[in-house]
Amino acid sequence: MVQNKTKQAKTNYAKIGIVAAIVVAVAILGVVIVNAVSHHGGVSVDRAVESISSDAATGADLRIALVRMDAIQSEANALQDLRKQRESYESKLRDELTAEQKKLEKEKAEIEKSQDVLSQDALQRRVADYQRRVTKLQRDLTERAQSIETSYQKALQDIQAKHLDPVIEGIIAKKNLSLVIDGRFARMGANAQNLDITDDVVSALNKKVSKVKMEKPKGF
């Protein structure tokens, strides 16, 4: 029965979103624990939680806000500049690919013309050399494209750790917030004033940092 519930939870995960999926996962965990206790003669749930405080946050005490991370990524100056740096490297890579493709196409045409001139062994050696160059080009371009993405992700992590997280923490302290929710997984009613702090985060982040240099990718 636990296996069936676990399978159903995995099926529902994509439909109900990450927050609900966490709730389902916790519920399943609870079933597993209860079954394990009943099978192995452990203490009852009441006994297990008897030492836990009954204190909990109430609605009147909570000050909640949400932040739209997708909007920050598209609107913050430092992140816009970082995307331009990545696009510049990608443009260089595309230009090199186009140039190398033209060279290989020219060589391929020459090989085809020389089929009736070269000996069978010489032709095979030339074809093998051509194939090695094609394989090497594909490998090099793949590695360099991956290096661009690695450098970009590292720069993103640096911005978050050194700038974005401190800004959000500062706003939490200033507004005396209890909880900040990722706006991608939340729904906001029309009467929820001052709930979205995305613009505040973008404004403060722009003041703190405008550019972060992306580490030069390997192969450039």
Closest CA to 66 of 189, 208, 166: 189
Q: Are 201 and 72 in contact (CB under 8 A)?
A: yes
Do 117 and 180 have their domain in common? yes
pTM here?
0.67
Residues 81 and 47 in one domain: no
Amino acid in the structure at residue 182: D
Note the pLDDT of residue 209: 93
Q: What percent of the chain has pLDDT over 90?
A: 52
* Residues 75, 29 share a domain: no
The number of distinct structural domains making up the chain is 2
**What's the start-to-end Cα distance of the chain, in Å?**
56
Residue 39 vs residue 106, higher pLDDT: 106
Averaged pLDDT, 9-29: 40
Residues 97 and 156 in one domain: yes
Bridge-partner residues for 180, per DSSP? 65
CB atoms within 10 A of CB 141: 16
Q: pLDDT at residue 38 above 90?
A: no
Looking up tokens 């003669």 gives: 41
Work out the angle between the directed axes of helices 77-113 and 198-208 (0-180°, nearest 10).
Answer: 80
> Are 166 and 134 members of one domain?
yes
pLDDT at 191: 67
**Per-residue pLDDT tens for 173-212?**
999 999 898 887 777 666 667 788 999 999 999 999 999 9
**Vertex 91 angle, CA 89 and 93, to 5°:** 70
Q: Which of 12, 27, 53 is the last residue of a domain?
A: 53
The pLDDT tens digits for 55-112 are 776 777 788 888 999 999 999 999 999 999 999 999 999 999 999 999 999 999 998 8
Whether the per-residue pLDDT at 139 is higher than 50: the answer is yes
Q: Tell me what the mean pLDDT of segment 22-51 comes to.
A: 56
- One domain for residues 85 and 182: yes
**Residue 88 shares a structural domain with residue 163:** yes
Which DSSP helix (H) or strand (E) runs through 7?
Answer: helix 2-40
Same domain? For 27 and 99 the reply is: no
Domain of residue 16: give its range: 2-53
Same domain for 86 and 186: yes
pLDDT tens string 150-160:
999 999 999 99
Buried b (16+ CB within 10 A) or exposed e, 45-80: eeeeeeeeeeeeeeeeeeeebbbbeebbeebbebbe
Asked whether residue 45 falls in the same domain as residue 72, the answer is no
- In whole angstroms, give the CA distance from residue 95 to residue 84: 16
Q: Is residue 58 part of a domain?
A: no
How do the residues of the chain divide into helix, strand and coil, expressed in percent and rounded to 5?
75, 5, 25
Check pLDDT > 90 for residue 8. Answer: no
In a domain, 60, yes or no: no
Q: Per the domain annotation, does 213 fall within a domain?
A: no
Q: What is the mean pLDDT of the chain?
A: 81
Q: What pLDDT is recorded for position 29?
A: 42
Same domain, 71 and 49: no
| Co-location of 117 and 151 in the same domain | yes
Is residue 138 within 8 Å of 119, Cβ to Cβ? no
Q: Residue 33 domain-assigned?
A: yes
- pLDDT for 86 equals 96
What does the block give as tokens for 187? Answer: 């729904």
Beta bridge partners of 67: 182
Confidence of residue 41 (pLDDT cuts 50, 70, 90): low
